[in-house]
Chains A and B, each alone.
Chain A
């Protein structure tokens, strides 16, 4: 339901997500982030193929953002209108850097 692809270039890490980020799949992403975030200064999420984010997904994003605030930058890319709407409603648009 969620396919996670990782691209690591030096201290830049990109997650390309394909599918749904929900209660079921959010823990997978959380694991992945936790496991590979050490030493990363630039974290990127590519949402081009992400269809859905629920609050469980938002929690992972928020916790990643908190971590990155101390050690570098985090960017969310290629956000669909529907997901952007979720970010707007929850105030995440102001917290996240959305490109």
Chain B
């Protein structure tokens, strides 16, 4: 009988067959051991147990009377069936034996907060957890991955738990998959495509509603970070941080919690989300906070360090992050983008500082400098913002509305009505209203007449109203012939009636009355934007 003794826990190895023939002997052997060690906890290791009869089961029942938290581990599958049939699996913790897998010489294809991912053969990968006692974590990740899949998030679910050295691992099927980090590293020209897919998945996650109580609430976690920070920030900043986090409303939409390009895999044509153990619910600002860290925050002092983590450069990461923000927020409004990024940084720095301090960062000179850098930025940001929310800001800052309509003059009134309706909310003067109307009429009628000539086509009219500055932005989009109306020379408005040509005034009036008029031809699309300050 092999036994081990660890910290009040006695592990007893059961061997061969235990039946009525040897049960009494096995029991007295166990009792002697217990008498000798007087353990508070007993674990029965069934790795070498081939058979157990009811006489053997009765020994276990008697042991459980004196040691109620008795558990049985490494149970072979036929023996497990016996425990299962007799109801033992419901009475106590009975763990199956795990297949052993070696990752020696295997390619490491990813690394996350809790473990590393190795490819063990062509079709399979194993995620090896850092902690030796990772079974609960593995169980958790399996459960949340299953939940995510049911809720419509494409992910890989582990189908087996294995033993890897002293730790545990979970095995996934992942065929021909490449992480987005690898794609960006080897084919940086695919940046825009990666951003598009990355944002598509992000929006999908954030629009997924999770039944109450199924996932941890990220706000609670963030509150605990903010509380931790009280000892390390000036009193006022600390209080503000906690108040800001506490003011974020409860949100039952999913967030991934560790959403960076290593955790997105392309398998054939399908994009899969992996590393699901950080799945939670909460306001998207918490997600953006950790995303900021993955491309910027972590590497602010040490730009080169990102190479070993993501495999690509700090510059590329910056470009990826910037484009991601724009696409996710669906705006080019620099003010909105910077404000959301700043709020993400508040969460990001909070998390980074706490993480580093907890890992002894204050004892290391380089790490201390890093903490100081994050801290000074955090304090500055806390001074600047009174909310972490960006949804409402965004709505206030750029209230978007769109009309997609056939570009014919018959629709002019519908377009005008649409624009006027959107102007109502800002309260604009008669004069500005007329100038805007005139501009809209000019541009729309131009599209009707020339964009698709001699065919017909559609136009999209987008009205955005912002608060600060009070401004209206109207964008016209058509897929007609490339045509830059601004390229035309301005008419001479000093000419007498005789000398003035009829026409040619329209675009001139637009230029004169609007504060900005911009034209762009991009991907087969004419985009004309009017801006009027109110």
Residues of A within 8 A of B (CB): 1, 22-24, 52-56, 58-59, 62-63, 65-66, 69, 81-83, 85-86, 89-91, 94-95
**Count of interface residues, chain B, beta-carbon cutoff 8 Å:** 27
Looking at B76-84, B149-157, B217-225, B491-499, the stretch in contact with chain A turns out to be B491-499
Q: Is the CB of B437 within 8 A of A23?
A: no
A85 to B496, CA, bound (A): 19
Q: Is the CB of B500 within 8 A of A55?
A: no
Q: Is the CB of A56 within 8 A of B445?
A: yes
Tell me which of A63, A66, A83, A90 has the highest count of chain B C-beta atoms within 10 A of its own C-beta. Answer: A90
**What are 8 inter-chain pairs, A to B, with CB distance below 8 A?**
A54-B438, A54-B442, A55-B506, A56-B445, A56-B506, A59-B505, A66-B498, A85-B435
> A24-B413, A63-B502, A82-B434 known; A54 and B494 CB under 8 Å?
no
- Does chain A have a CB within 8 A of B359? no
- Does chain A have a CB within 8 A of B399? no
A94 to B438, CA, bound (A): 20
A26 to B413, CA, bound (A): 14
Q: Restricting to B484-534, which residues have a CB under 8 Å from any CB of A?
A: 493-498, 500, 502-503, 505-506, 508-509, 512-513
A43 to B296, CA, bound (A): 71
A75 to B503, CA, bound (A): 21
Q: Is the CB of A23 within 8 A of B412?
A: yes
Q: Is the CB of B497 within 8 A of A65?
A: yes
A65 to B500, CA, bound (A): 11
- Does chain A have a CB within 8 A of B173? no
- Does chain A have a CB within 8 A of B431? yes
Residue of A59, A81, A82, A90 touching B508 (CB-CB under 8 A): A90
**Which residue of B is nearest A93, CB measured?**
B493
Q: Is the CB of A69 within 8 A of B497?
A: yes
Q: Smallest Cβ distance from B517 to chain A, in angstroms?
A: 14
Known: A54-B438, A65-B497, A82-B431. 6 other contacts (CB 8 A): A24-B413, A53-B438, A55-B438, A55-B442, A86-B438, A90-B508
Q: Smallest Cβ distance from A31 to chain B, in angstroms?
A: 16
Residue of B437, B442, B494, B506 touching A94 (CB-CB under 8 A): B494
Residues of B within 8 A of A (CB): 409, 412-413, 430-431, 434-435, 437-438, 441-442, 445, 493-498, 500, 502-503, 505-506, 508-509, 512-513
Residue of A24, A55, A66, A86 touching B409 (CB-CB under 8 A): A24
Q: Smallest Cβ distance from B532 to chain A, in angstroms?
A: 14
Chain A, interface SS category? helix
**Which residue of B is nearest A63, CB measured?**
B502
Q: Is the CB of B509 within 8 A of A89?
A: yes
A62 to B499, CA, bound (A): 11
A91 to B496, CA, bound (A): 9
Q: Is the CB of A54 within 8 A of B441?
A: yes
Q: Smallest Cβ distance from B304 to chain A, in angstroms?
A: 57
Q: Is the CB of A90 within 8 A of B438?
A: no
Q: Smallest Cβ distance from A83 to chain B, in angstroms?
A: 8
Q: Smallest Cβ distance from A62 to chain B, in angstroms?
A: 6
Q: Is the CB of A62 within 8 A of B500?
A: yes
Residue of A62, A69, A85 touching B502 (CB-CB under 8 A): A62
**Which residue of B is nearest A81, CB measured?**
B431
**Which residue of B is nearest A85, CB measured?**
B431
A65 to B509, CA, bound (A): 19
Q: Smallest Cβ distance from B508 to chain A, in angstroms?
A: 7
User: Please, which residues of chain A bring their CB within 8 A of the CB of B495?
Assistant: 91
A62 to B508, CA, bound (A): 16
Q: Smallest Cβ distance from B533 to chain A, in angstroms?
A: 16
Q: Smallest Cβ distance from B164 to chain A, in angstroms?
A: 74
A52 to B438, CA, bound (A): 8
> A52-B434, A81-B431 known; A69 and B441 CB under 8 Å?
no
**Which residue of B is nearest A68, CB measured?**
B497
Please give me the 10 A-B residue pairs with the lowest Cβ-Cβ distance, nearest first. Answer: A91-B493, A55-B506, A95-B497, A55-B505, A54-B441, A89-B512, A82-B434, A65-B497, A23-B445, A54-B438
User: Please, which residues of chain B bring their CB within 8 A of the CB of A65?
Assistant: 497
Q: Is the CB of B413 within 8 A of A1?
A: yes
